[in-house]
Amino acid sequence: MKRACLFAMLTANISAEKLTYPDSHPKPLSEKIHGIDVSDDYRWLEDLNSKQTAEWVKAQNTVTEGYLNKIPGRDKLEKHLTNIWNVERISAPSKKGGRYFFHRNDGLQDQSVFYTTKDLKKKPKVLFDPNKLSGDGTVALKDISISHNGKYMAYSLSASGSDWVEWKVRDIDTGKDLSDHLKWSKFSDATWSGDNKGFYYGRFPTPKKGEEMMAANTDKKIYYHKLGTAQSEDTLVYERPDHPKWGLYTGLTDDKRFLIIHISQGTDTKNGLFYKDLSKPDSKVIELFNKFDASYSLAGNIDSKFLIQTDHDAPRQKLVSVDLAKPETSNWKTIIPQTAETLDGVSYVGGILIAEYMKDAHSQVRRFKVDGSPLPDLELPGLGTAYSIGGKPDDKEFFYGFTSFTTPGTIYHYEVASNKSTLYRAPNTKFNQNDYKSSQIFATSKDGTKVPMFVVHKKGIKLDGSNPTYLYAYGGFNISLTPSYRASNIAWLDMGGIYVLANLRGGGEYGEEWHQAGMKTKKQNVFDDFIACAEHLIAKKYTSSPRLAIAGGSNGGLLVGACLTQRPELYGACLPAVGVMDMLRFQKFTIGWAWQAEYGFPDKNADEFKYLLGYSPYHNLKKGTKYPATMVTTSDHDDRVVPSHSFKFAAALQAAQAGDAPSLIRIETKAGHGAGTPTSKQIEQVVDKYSFLSKALGFEIKL
């Protein structure tokens, strides 16, 4: 009887308020693809420049804002969240040309400020404050590259969250910008030449007017820009017109002898690695690895021997030495062999090799001599994630960061010779870390695979099925989710919630085999893993379906959309963010074509098309179904996953919904895929999200 009453209470969480949604004007459209008729009644929402789309966006936001603003407790939540957020955040200092460089945010600044100093014990100098670029904080400092001599800073700016950036150069001594101004760059760093007179960078052809946010990004080229010259005078260094979809990225060896060109084919982890010997005039680009049979990345070099991290015959990665004079695999020398843990990265610093590993999705750091002989490990302060580990071969020290679910980014100073870490800077949190508990549990997926989850909550909660639970995952592109601090998560825990981070197949937590088990025609494994995690949390009474929210962004938005359509009764609320929702047309916009290596080729491969159609969130919404409370989120300037994915999905969901649960879409303006979003907007987004969940899951905001 008690259990029945509990579930009656929980299932009454959605207000019977009937929402009136804007007319999404379905325009019947059907096309035959690989012999199958496919409907796309909301394709008109792909025209992001049309007046009709703009009116639809405005009308949807009006409905969503009206709904959210009526939810009680929002003011308390915003005040509490702002208080937690208002803590100094600092990056690990790096060193170039006798100067230290780092980012710092005093807590509530919309964008972090970039500083420099020659002495960390003295007051640093503000080198760049992006908060002065725009009144609303929507112009962000994207990437920074310091010249080897520490005299110049090449930096890129992104407006309204777009992936497009413009490069400029600042004189570090004077703090003034030079005349250099480069446009139409995207997915590119600035690689300084050894003489500090210029840098290499990648750019795309100028898109047609009006197509900047939608047109496919192809034909990337590598240029060399000499300081003080116009972009029109840049020297073309490398292009591949025979492979317009190759991604080209540059790097420079620490001895400044070799220009490295990393070649990607979409988002495939298998890549090419080429080099150009800059010590020889007019030297050609040498294709060191051009078979695209494995992943290859340069960890460092000792003269003409490259230290290469690779998953060639080692799905969890290894480090090998490759002699450029005889680079055949038969001549490779294994320096660090594959282990049970996944090798995440290797740095050649201070004359030794420092290797970062993942063990069940958390960090371990091991050290080796350059011949592979083991040295004592670098001990970390706990179960969490280490970051910014590394430096130059002659560095005697470096700074690195450590974070966990309840530990904000904490910076340590590390001495290579003594293997000693000393606390450098720790934030003064507004909460007691000892009030919370983090643990790792495992669910069993449909095919028997063990899937790890991190579970975080306040100590003393009761496992009676009543806890509001936020289950988050990604599951794709070889991306690993590891423990990290978010002020928003602490606020959720303080609201009485449980936060769960699931490590699904498709990610990189257990190496390339784990990744491949969740891609292309094995993508359903990812959804099965997520569903298994939800079912496990319910079975163990952490929560119950009416109190369970699932969330994810980008590829994780696809995950939420697919699981919503496959098991709508399993969740109380769904939060798909900037998701890939139309799996038949994702390849037609901006960089979407690159994801075909992960998802499949719907235009070229009939079998992959049918598989994609089988789970595409947009195409699998069924009219007359009672879907859980859902708030789709996207941004009008997202030129990575174009917002039309979310627009079309939300329109179709509103038309299909047979229950009383809300089907809302929240469209952020002057924002993109997420990176560079100002602090003020981030807080607004979290308040809206948690307010929505409090009503959807049926609990009061008490803080």
**Residue 4 burial by Cβ neighbours in a 10 Å radius (0-12, 13-18, 19+):** exposed
**Is residue 378 a contact partner of residue 354, using CB atoms and an 8 Å limit?**
yes
Q: What is the DSSP string of 210-233?
A: T-TTTS-----EEEEEETTS-GGG
- Residue 682, token pair as written in the block: 């981030």
Q: How many CB atoms lie within 10 A of CB 408?
A: 23
* Pairing relationship of beta strands 36-39 and 30-33 according to DSSP bridges: antiparallel
Of the candidates 295, 673, 691, 694, the residue annotated as catalytic is 673
Q: Is 322 left (phi over 0), alpha (psi -120 to 50) or beta?
A: beta
CA–CA separation, 469 vs 523, rounded Å?
Answer: 25
- Evaluate whether 130 touches 607 at the Cβ level (below 8 Å): no
554 as an active site residue: the answer is yes
For residue 457, the surrounding DSSP H or E stretch is strand 450-458
Helix H or strand E segment including 171: strand 165-171
Q: Which residues pair with 422 in a beta bridge?
A: 413
Which residue has 């062999």 as its token pair?
A: 337
CB 293 within 8 A of CB 312: yes
Q: Out of 554, 644, 646, 691, which one is annotated catalytic?
A: 554
Q: Residue with structure tokens 């979003």? A: 677
What does DSSP say about strands 94-96 and 113-117: parallel, antiparallel, or unpaired?
unpaired
72 contacts 700 by C-beta, under 8 angstroms:
yes
CA 340/CA 629 separation, integer angstroms: 41
Tokens of 226: 């000499």
Tell me if residue 25 is catalytic: no
Q: Measuring CA to CA, how many Å separate 431 from each of 105, 436, 492, 567, 610?
A: 19, 10, 13, 37, 50
Own/partner pairs, 62-68, CB within 8 angstroms, 24+ separation? 62/22, 63/19, 63/20, 63/21, 63/22, 63/664, 64/631, 64/664, 64/665, 64/666, 67/19, 67/662, 67/664, 68/666, 68/688, 68/691, 68/692
Which single residue is written with the structure tokens 């139309």? 582
Alpha-carbon distance of 104 to 113, in angstroms, equals 5
Q: Which residues pair with 185 in a beta bridge?
A: 165
Residue closest to 125 by CA, chosen among 151, 100, 89: 100
CB 99 within 8 A of CB 116: yes
Distances (CA, A) of 15 to 122, 378, 426, 570: 57, 53, 44, 19
Two tokens, residue 577 = 């963010």
Q: Which residue, 584, 594, 583, is CA-closest to 559?
A: 583
Catalytic residues: 554, 673
